[in-house]
Amino acid sequence: MMKTILAFAAGALLMGALPLKAQRRPNIVLIISDDHAFQAIGAYGGQHARTPNIDRLAREGVKFNRAYVTNSICGPSRAVILTGKHSHRNGFKDNEHSRFDGSQNTFIKELGKVGYNTAWIGKWHLETKPQGFSYWQILPGQGAYYNPDFLMMDGSRKQFDGYVSNVVEDEAERWLDARDTTKPFCLVIGHKATHRTWIPDTTDFGAYEDVTFTPPANFTDKYEGREAARVQDMSISKSMRMGYDLKMFGDSAEANREGSIKRMNPRSAPGSTGSTAPSRKGLKPSASPKKASRNGNTSVTCAIT
């Protein structure tokens, strides 16, 4: 799953929040979203998805228009961020066969040496436990969208009620509230969203029910002269599945076999089949499926205060 890193930073000065000694060392918050295409971010010209908070960071801070990544897959890109090394040097080359060597040096370990409190909360997906952090609380593997489990630093596994993005943010804020305020901190917030299977919070179901999305200009691109793009797998015609991706199930039994929906409890589960039925009725089979590449990426928001 190919990705491109885009970054945008916002800076703010917090005077009086920390002792003078700590003020000389900035606090750092790194927010990572997964598979977040730049076309789905308002600050980068996205027309449909509403991202007011990200847009505010871009507007009041710094927006990077020329940011590149050494490895555009989600796990390897995290390894690059941590180590500052290319994948062939840090050892985590792909998501299928790699395990991150936590004994190597990372920017987190360097911050720890100069007195920083450090934490990683949320998606990690590097196959080994974090090392060098003051605190960590990570999703196992890809994690789950609803009522997610977390691997805790004490070795336990704990399930939290709610939507994963909300839970990750709540736990990050909980750590911030409980931290040693005499020390500067670096907090990495690793979101699962917007990774496939693209499931929103239940409160956002139906948000685009009345919106008509215009296909992008390259929807029917035949990739002439671009062989690598032509044979790539992540396209609507080759890879998108009705139930798994679009949540358009034939009946409730089919819906209940979907892993994310099975994790929902009766209080949070919507009428899955009923909510998609009108859309499904409007679908018509096509004799010649059109191709459309999905431009995914890992987006990084960095706020230094």
Rounded to whole angstroms, how far apart are CA atoms 39 and 205?
A: 21
- Listed in sequence order, the residues at least 6 apart from 244 whose beta carbon sits closer than 8 Å to its beta carbon are 197, 258
Contact between 130 and 186 (Cβ < 8 Å): no
pLDDT in tens, the chain (305 residues): 333 333 333 333 233 334 445 457 999 999 999 988 888 899 999 888 889 999 999 999 999 998 887 887 889 999 999 999 999 999 999 999 999 999 999 999 999 999 999 999 999 999 999 999 999 999 999 999 999 999 999 999 999 999 999 999 999 999 999 999 999 999 999 999 999 888 889 888 888 888 888 888 888 888 899 998 888 877 787 888 888 888 888 888 888 788 878 888 776 655 444 344 445 555 555 444 443 333 344 444 444 44
Give me the pLDDT at residue 267, please: 64
In 127-271, where does DSSP find H-type helix?
A: 164-178, 227-230, 236-239, 252-256, 259-262
Helix (H, G, I), strand (E, B) or coil at 114: coil
Give me the pLDDT at residue 77, please: 92
Give me the pLDDT at residue 162, please: 94
- Listed in sequence order, the residues at least 6 apart from 171 whose beta carbon sits closer than 8 Å to its beta carbon are 121, 122, 137, 150, 160
Rounded to whole angstroms, how far apart are CA atoms 143 and 148?
A: 7
Q: What SS3 string covers 48-103?
A: CCCCHHHHHHHHHCEECCCCCCCCCCHHHHHHHHHHCCCHHHHCCCCCCCCCCCCC
Rounded to whole angstroms, how far apart are CA atoms 90 and 128?
A: 14
- For residue 68, what are the CA distances in angstroms to 93, 148, 188? 17, 31, 20
Give me the pLDDT at residue 161, please: 94
Query: φ and ψ at 59, to 5 degrees?
Result: -70, -40
Rounded to whole angstroms, how far apart are CA atoms 252 and 305?
A: 48
Q: Which residue has the tokens 């070795």?
A: 155
Rounded to whole angstroms, how far apart are CA atoms 155 and 129?
A: 10
